[in-house]
Amino acid sequence: MTALLATFADSNLIRLALAGQTECFAVLIDRHKGAVRRRIASMVGSPADADDTSGRTTESVASPVGIPVGIQLSYVDDSCGY
């Protein structure tokens, strides 16, 4: 199912995630985590801080709309140069 979801537009994934389809939220996070982490890494001093802040960012997006944040996500992105 995740392979099929990966073909969906962000707007459709957001709509489905808000309707309770947490796997859609995971696909969105996976799709954008590298860009989010790179941006955060450019603003903070260390890779560990970038990882921590990326995780907190995910929680701050997920929690208000009722998406469980227990989804295991990895924020380490080798393209960041760390």
pLDDT digits (tens, 9 = 90+) for 46-82: 999 998 998 888 888 777 666 665 544 444 444 443 3
Let me know if residue 57 belongs to a domain: yes
- Please tell me the distance from the alpha carbon of residue 25 to that of residue 16, in angstroms, as a whole number: 8
- Please tell me the distance from the alpha carbon of residue 39 to that of residue 36, in angstroms, as a whole number: 5
Q: Which domain holds residue 52?
A: 2-64
Let me know if residue 71 belongs to a domain: no
Using DSSP's 3-state secondary structure scheme, residue 81 falls into coil
- DSSP assignment of 30-68, as one string? HHHHHHHHHHHHTTSS-HHHHHHHHHHHHHHHHGGGT--
3-33 confidence digits (pLDDT tens): 899 999 999 998 998 888 888 888 988 899 8
Q: Which residue has the tokens 């997006």?
A: 61
Let me know if residue 24 belongs to a domain: yes
User: Structurally, how many domains does the chain consist of?
Assistant: 1
Let me know if residue 79 belongs to a domain: no
